[in-house]
Amino acid sequence: MPNQLRIFLPVGVAVVAYALGAIAAFAAAPNSCVDCHSQIHEQIIADSKEDVHTRVGLTCVSCHGGNPSIADEKSMDPKEGFIGAPKPKDIPQFCARCHSDPAYMRPYNPSLPVDQLEKYATSRHGELLKKGDAKVATCISCHKSHGILPASNTRSSVHPQKVPLTCSMCHSDANYMAEYGIPTNQFAQYADSTNVHGYALFVKGDIGAPACNDCHSNHGALPPGVEQVGQVCTQCHALNGEFFRTSPHKDGFDALGLMECAFCHQASPDLNDPKARIHTIVSPKHSMIGTKEPSLCAKCHSGDPGAEMAAVVSKDLDSLEARLHHARELLERAERRGLEVSDAQWKLKSEVLQARMELRTSIHSFNLKQYVPFYERADTALNSVVIAGIAAADETRHRITYYIVMTVIIALLVAGLGLKMRDIERSRKE
Amino acid sequence: MIARLFNWINSRYKIEKLLYFSREKSVPLHRGTMWYYFGGITLFLFGVQVITGLVLLFYYRVGSDASFESVKFIITQVKFGWLLRSMHSWSANLMVLAAIIHMMSVFFHRSYRKPREMTWVTGVTMLFLLMVFGFSGYLLPWNELAFFATKVGTDSARAIPLIGDFLLKLMRGGSDVTGATLSRFFGLHVSVLPPIFTGLLALHLFFVQVQGMSEPLESAGHGRKRTMPFLPDFLLRDLMVWLVTFDILLLLSVFFPWELGVKADPFSPAPAGIKPEWYFLFVFQSLKMLPAHIWGIEGEVLGVMVMGVGAGVLFILPWLDRASSQGLRNRLFDVIGVFGLLYFATFTILGYLID
């Protein structure tokens, strides 16, 4: 036997024996939590199996304390460290024992924030809980108590597509919310098919679309104040916000107490009830701008510079849309006839549509001087596509003309050859 | 002037003998005389292919980063480039069609019988070469459809026993369809196939000139024959047919220009409904519909073997149909011919209808 084998063989045998012993001991170890609760709390045990905490090796004891190796009720003796189920008012602190401890959390999930409790304390939920209101949402209201799944799991109650439904469990319940005096139609408004954000999230499956928590915050949930709504929207719509802040509308909206973006972009804005449909943000339409109803501008402006700009922008946008429609038709017709117009199509999709989006953004400056260069850029880009479309239509006409001319020449040649043939045959007979 | 030129040439090259031969050349007249024109149409379309192909070659650049762009340049920037490219593609397809019709007329007239066996063999070889021309040319624009059709087409080579994998790598220039495949197909299309095809065509035409046009089985050797002088009668008719063919080619190119599509992207998934050119569709559909295993042999392997045997039979047909050489019509070959045509038509239609 080689020397190395003499040394490694006993060591190997010892390691394997230890491992087998450990497995046997683990398998045999009693777990009184599971043994007892599997009979009375079947669902909790089932849920816990896929709980994110179970998956990283935590057990009932990790949260509830106690000694599961004791087979009877003594396992739940406070002397054994048993805490039991926390009361609703204690839940945030209960979870925060670990979740607010960066050193404890780091090995499990170093990127997970540890400030949830601090944020919760600043939330409306946290404020009310502090005042003794046990009805408000705590950690388990949104995350569940057992069977907690990471937000990235599509079955999780806090997955982006599930958040509106989770919030609506309380916020759409008129009886439950009665004592708080706030509306309960937020989910209905958000899930309305005309709401661009809800449509993007639910129908298009775009999990980047804002759900409740993106505007209200998740752990620090609080309705944004009138003056903060614009800030919230500009988290995504940055340029629109930038234009608006330097526009003459900014002071006007502040003075009237209107919620900047949300007032104009909600479905059917009403000056008498400016918050009526703020959870249904509709896709912007050109009809929003103009000097006559249903234009929004007409609600405040008439015969003033604002109305003049509204008239100019409305006319520009209508003309741009009509020409865009014409350009699309020209290119589609050319493609149907087999012409190669991919460059013009590409220009339409990239340059023109981008310029149109920038133009629409620039309208939020409510300043003609700032708006005009954007219109000119969109106009120039669109003109080049229209010209390409017209050239394609001309080319089609030319091709047909060439074909007709060639066919006439060919027909004449065939007729000439036919006559020649007849002459030859006739002269041969004579 | 023309007479002086003729005399100048004739005193040196004795072309009067050639003229005498041409004047004496005649074409048999019978119910099936019209089928003779399809040989001429195929020849005319080959001429169109050569001319349009040469002009396209002035602008075409080979390479996975240049081919698509150069074809796009041809059809958008080059004066009448769109017409040249469309004519080249349409003419290629019409040429295969004309060659198939020509071959079928020869088949049903039994014109392959002794002493024209080699005319048949050169003709069948040219038909197969035309298909290789089509297959190699289809990839050259390096668009999505061509890329995936080539992938599927070359993949069928795997089913050939023993040499399948070798053949696949030889065709692709590697294990996958890449720029290397494009270079190979380009080389094959513009420098390997043309001289071989031209040589075979010259041989084919030479045989036809030496042996004259074949008469149908039933009318051969029966009494006084009705004929038409080749020069100028038949040639004038040929010219008229060519002019009409040219007009059809223009019509197709103007009203149904050959699409360029989108550039091939080897990393994108294959679009739905990828199909080869129509003349390969019956093979593609047959292989697709075969069960995975037949008598313990892989279905596709058996299919390719049967097709190979079919192609081989086509080559040796003149020697299989001995009755025709003795002036007799063996009806079994008519049945086989009709079955073959119906099979080709049915599976081509199925190929278009079934995704």
CB contact, 8 Å: A407 with chain B? yes
Closest CA to A299 of A248, A333, A263, A331: A263
Average pLDDT of span A175-194 = 94
- How much of chain B is helix, strand and coil, in % rounded to 5? 70, 5, 25
Among A340, A397, A406, the strongest candidate for a mutation testing the B interface, having the largest count of B CBs within 10 A, is A340
Residue B294's H or E segment, with its range, is: strand B293-294
3-state secondary structure B187-256: HHHHHHHHHHHHHHHHHHHHHHHHHCCCCCCCCCCCCCCCEEEHHHHHHHHHHHHHHHHHHHHHHHHHHC
CA atoms of B76 and A339, how far apart (whole Å) = 9
Length of chain A: 430
> Is residue B15 classed as helix, strand or coil in its secondary structure?
coil
- Rounded to two decimals, the ipTM of the complex is 0.88
The pair of structure tokens assigned to A243 is: 């234009």
> Is residue B10 classed as helix, strand or coil in its secondary structure?
helix
Taking contacts as CB-CB distances below 8 angstroms, the residues of chain A near B260 are 340, 342
The two beta strands, B227-229 and B26-28, are antiparallel
What residue of A is the nearest CA neighbor of B234? A421
pTM for the full predicted model = 0.71
Tens of pLDDT, residues A192-231: 999 999 999 999 999 999 999 999 988 998 887 767 788 8
What pLDDT score was predicted for residue A3?
53
Residue whose pair of structure tokens reads 């408000």 in the numeric block: A136
CB contact, 8 Å: A425 with chain B? yes
What pLDDT score was predicted for residue A411?
98
What pLDDT score was predicted for residue A22?
43
**How deeply is B10 buried, as exposed, middle or buried, from its count of CB atoms within 10 A (0-12, 13-18, 19+)?**
middle
What pLDDT score was predicted for residue A430?
79
Residue whose pair of structure tokens reads 């079994």 in the numeric block: B332
Among B228, B247, B248, the strongest candidate for a mutation testing the A interface, having the largest count of A CBs within 10 A, is B247
Average pLDDT of span A238-255 = 92
Quick one: what percent of chain A has pLDDT higher than 90?
A: 67
3-state secondary structure chain A: CCHHHHHHHHHHHHHHHHHHHHHHHHHHCCCHHHHHHHHHCHHHHHHHCCCHHHHCCCCHHHHHCCCCCCCCHHHHCHHHCCCCCCCHHHHHHHHHHHHCCHHHHCCCCCCCCCCHHHHHHHCHHHHHHHCCCCCCCCHHHHHCCCCCCCCCCCCCCCCCCCHHHHHHHHHCCHHHHHHHCCCCCHHHHHCCCCEHHHHHHHHCCCCCCCCHHHHHCCCCCCCCCHHHHHHHHCCCCHHHHHHHHCCHHHHHHHHHCCCHHHHHHECCCCCCCCCCCCCCEECCCHHHCCCCCCCCHHHCCCCCHHHHHHHHHHHHHHHHHHHHHHHHHHHHHHHHCCCCCHHHHHHHHHHHHHHHHHHHHHHHHCCHHHHHHHHHHHHHHHHHHHHHHHHHHHHHHHHHHHHHHHHHHHHHHHHHHHHHHHHHHHHHHC
CA atoms of B92 and B103, how far apart (whole Å) = 16
What residue of A is the nearest CA neighbor of B74? A340
Taking contacts as CB-CB distances below 8 angstroms, the residues of chain A near B237 are 421
Tell me the residue type at A257: G
CA atoms of B108 and B64, how far apart (whole Å) = 45
Among B83, B240, B242, B256, the strongest candidate for a mutation testing the A interface, having the largest count of A CBs within 10 A, is B240
DSSP code at position B276: -
The pair of structure tokens assigned to A150 is: 């990471």
Question: Residue A4: pLDDT band by 50, 70, 90 thresholds?
Answer: low
Tens of pLDDT, residues B127-138: 999 999 999 999
Average pLDDT of span A341-355 = 95
Backbone φ/ψ region at A195: left (φ over 0), alpha (ψ -120 to 50), beta: beta
Tens of pLDDT, residues B200-257: 999 999 999 999 999 888 776 666 678 899 888 999 999 999 999 999 999 999 999 9
CB contact, 8 Å: A74 with chain B? no
Q: Which residues contact B17 (CB under 8 A, 6 or more apart)?
A: none
CB contact, 8 Å: A402 with chain B? yes
**How deeply is A133 buried, as exposed, middle or buried, from its count of CB atoms within 10 A (0-12, 13-18, 19+)?**
middle
Residue whose pair of structure tokens reads 């041409």 in the numeric block: B22
Taking contacts as CB-CB distances below 8 angstroms, the residues of chain A near B256 are 338
Question: Residue A426: pLDDT band by 50, 70, 90 thresholds?
Answer: very high
What pLDDT score was predicted for residue A394?
94
In contact, A53 and A148? CB cutoff 8 Å = yes
What pLDDT score was predicted for residue A29?
53
Comparing A158 with A72, which gets the higher pLDDT?
Answer: A158
Instruction: Name the A residues in 313-372 with CB < 8 Å from any B CB.
Output: 337-340, 342-343
- Rounded to the nearest angstrom, the gap between the alpha carbon of residue B82 and the centroid of all alpha carbons in its chain is 23
Comparing A409 with B25, which gets the higher pLDDT?
Answer: A409
- DSSP codes of every residue in B130-173: HHHHHHHHHHTT-BHHHHHHHHHHHHGGGGSTTTHHHHHHHHHT
Over chain A, what is the mean pLDDT? 89
Length of chain B: 355
> Is residue B28 classed as helix, strand or coil in its secondary structure?
strand
Task: Name the residue among B72, B243, B254 with its Cβ closest to that of A403.
Answer: B254
Comparing A7 with B19, which gets the higher pLDDT?
Answer: B19
Closest CA to B160 of B343, B351, B309, B276: B309
Task: Name the residue among B236, B246, B260 with its Cβ closest to that of A340.
Answer: B260
Beta bridge partners of B263: B143
Average pLDDT of span A146-159 = 93
Task: Name the residue among A402, A406, A414 with its Cβ closest to that of B240.
Answer: A414
Taking contacts as CB-CB distances below 8 angstroms, the residues of chain B near A423 are none
Question: Residue A68: pLDDT band by 50, 70, 90 thresholds?
Answer: confident
